[in-house]
Amino acid sequence: MDSFSDYLNSAKKSLFRFESLQDYKIDGEDESDEGMKEWWDFIASKKKQGVQMQRIKLVIRPLTKYTETELEIHKKSSSFGDDIRIIEEEAFKILGVKQEDFWIVDDVICLRMKYSNEGEYLGFDVVEKSVKKYLKIKKVLLKHSVSL
Q: Positive or negative CA dihedral for 86, 90, 92, 98?
A: positive
Region class of 106: left (phi > 0), else alpha (psi between -120 and 50), else beta: left
> In CATH, what number is assigned to the domain containing residue 82?
3.30.870.10
SS3 81: coil
Q: Quick one: how far is CA 13 from the chain centroid?
A: 16
The answer on pLDDT for 76 being more than 70 is yes
Domain count, the chain: 1
The answer on pLDDT for 28 being more than 60 is no
Range of the domain at 76: 4-147
Q: Once rounded to an integer, what is the mean pLDDT over residues 116-137?
A: 94
pLDDT (0 to 100) of residue 30: 62
